Amino acid sequence: MKVLLTGGAGDLGQVLAPELVLLGHTPVVLDVARPGKELGEFVEGSILDRGLLEKTIASVDHIVHIAAWHGIHEFKQEKDAFDFWDLNVTGSINVLECAARNAKSKLVFISSTSVDDWPGIYAHSKILCEDLMRTYSARHRMDIISLRPRAFIPHWNRATYNTIGEWACWYWKGSVHINDVAQAVVKSIDALVSNTVQGHLVLTLDGACEFQSEDLEHWDRNGEGTTFKKLFGEDKYELAVQHGLNPAVKPKVIGYSDAQRAIGYSPTYGFGQMLDELAAKPHS
């Protein structure tokens, strides 16, 4: 089975491609940049090139639509409202219309929990994209899963994070690991292929959380840092502080129950793994 990955030369596409190959699929990466590691097929170009996009979509079985400017581009003021509209919104309708014209009815769309940050530019673009997914699903009887992961830029992306410690400070606030997002995409493809999901479905992706609901409800009731120390111990507490984390700050957990029920999503990466990586790569 050929699976199109729009924007597949980016972080998520490069994590997904080898997973798809292991499952016997052929990833087809459509991107303006050549991927660092080529697996399957590479098509150089943009989703704004409708002719190239339609030709590429005609040759594949299923679509994973990743290509977009992300929230970090708004935060760093690297892209403006025109940029977000052109790639995120126009690009998405291009993907959907080309899919509909070629009778491709299965699609996974990477949205974001940032939809809650409306009226931010990035958030608004994702809201508009989700509405397009819902509309095309109804108009053309397409089966579409819109995944809403929390921010998942990996620690090895040096354009965003200088060190793993810098990344961990962000991750501690409550996040999802890129490997778990890839897991969700693969399971979404399986659900669409088996027709266990029909119509348009929106699923939130959160990371694993070792803290119990009672821990979160009564965070640090016995003193600053006590909830963290209870679970991870004094040594990991010191490790966290050394890297700039504040273990007294309660992480925000939003859950993933809908994704678990619909596609069997179960995140494997949590705060414990984050701390283990900090210990193993303290200066990287």
Taking only the tens place, the pLDDT of each residue in 4-58 is 999 999 999 999 999 999 999 999 999 999 998 889 999 999 999 999 999 999 9
Sign for the pseudo-dihedral over CA of 207, 255, 111, 101: positive
Q: How sure is the predictor about 283, in pLDDT bands with cuts at 50, 70 and 90?
A: low
Give me the pLDDT at residue 281, please.
Answer: 79
pTM: 0.96
What is the domain class of 2-161+175-207+253-270 according to CATH? alpha beta
User: What does DSSP assign to residue 109?
Assistant: E
CATH 3.40.50.720 domain range(s) in the chain: 2-161+175-207+253-270
Tokens of 86: 């052109």
Q: Is 142 helix (H, G, I), strand (E, B) or coil?
A: coil
Dihedral, 35, 38, 42, 46 alpha carbons, nearest 10:
-10
68 pLDDT above the threshold of 70: yes
